[in-house]
Amino acid sequence: MNESASVSPHRTPGKPEISESFTASFGSDPSALWSAPGRVNLIGEHVDYNGGPVMPFAIQHRCYVAAAANDDGVIRLRSKQFPNEAVSVALADLATGAAYSHTREVQAQRFAGWASYVLGVIWALEQVGVHVPPVDVLVDGHVPVGAGLSSSAALECAAVGAFCDIAGVGIDGPQRATIAQRAENDFVGVPCGLMDQMASTCARADHALLFDTYDQRIEQIPLAASAAGYEFLVVDTGAAHGLVDGEYASRRAACEEAARTLRVKLLREVADRGPDESAALVAGIADATLRRRARHVVSEILRVSTAAEALKAADWPRLGALMTASHNSLRDDFEVSSPQLDTAVEALLSSGALGARLTGAGFGGSVVALIETSRLETAVSAVRTSFAAAGFKAPTASLAVASQGARREPLAR
């Protein structure tokens, strides 16, 4: 790709010199170093907390957590991305085994921003009997923050691995994902499903992760788009999304209310009745808002299953059409899109993308598109032109490469 292209060509961003930075920050060497990736969700948005299947893949952008125990009784946190936000917390403030309401009160008063995700992991590990001693922690990486690519899950999952190493405890990937989710749910206060943490922890390179949240089954599906002449392009709209603002929680509450209206525990149970019966059941919901929310969830669950079949068959046009249908449903029925997201999708489709959709919870963030490699430059140019015409901040674009999940990294010697 030539230099005039607006697509970042970096398929494998370089590993930061985090061990050296740790030593400079704390005066000692780290004893544990883990990394975990962000993710792109191909399809299956807002269905993980409804018992539905999702199909993300981990991306090449990773978060790194270096840590070492100390003798000071204090947790000290530093981030290369937020150098002016050093945090020091007495371990006793987290290790009390206190209830959710207490920890949220403490967190809200003292642990704002990125640090809450790290401290939440220490708290969540304590809840399952894993004692993490006082630690020094340095965070670095290159998962874009606020872009809908799960920078928070990457941070949590890298932290779980590092802290388990320090505690001398070995647990498998799904368990680490569940602990990371508990940190985000019960400490940070975001009622997210398990998709992001499972993708960040359990994904394989060159595969999509088909994760059925209903029965916790995982299937690794080969993702060979490049070999077929296609790429997954991610456009970061620059409109940062926020999940702790009530919108995510309100969508989840609406889904729970719709399920109660239909006399099921989860909307997945409605989707399992097939497209015709499920559509008829959803159409019978009297409240228009609940009806739209349920219609998105049920139709999206069915789309994920069809998309998995398309991917296994390398039917790229079919996969693309399902991605676009997913975006339309998120825009019209779930109402989590934004003018920037819609503008990006429209520009990508008009310039030849097989499919495009918002990825992540919405309300801002990024779009993922399936597009022929030969059309990348034209597509990115079209998006930038459309954004300029609408008066939006210039977007950024990069390729998304299916990458390995959380892993232990070698320490510098």
Q: Catalytic residue numbers?
A: 196
Using CA atoms, how far apart are residues 177 and 228, in angstroms rounded to an integer? 32
Q: Token digits for 172?
A: 């498998």
146: nearest Cα among 64, 244, 242: 242
**Would the CA dihedral through 323, 329, 335, 339 be positive or negative?**
positive
CB-CB contact of 19 with 412 (8 Å): yes
H/E element, 375: none
Using CA atoms, how far apart are residues 344 and 36, in angstroms rounded to an integer? 28
Cβ-count burial of 322 within 10 angstroms (0-12 exposed, 13-18 middle, 19+ buried)?
buried
Helix axes 376-390, 339-350, angle to 10 degrees: 140
CB atoms inside a 10 Å sphere around CB 338: 17
| Residue whose structure tokens are 């030849």 | 352
Using CA atoms, how far apart are residues 165 and 66, in angstroms rounded to an integer? 11
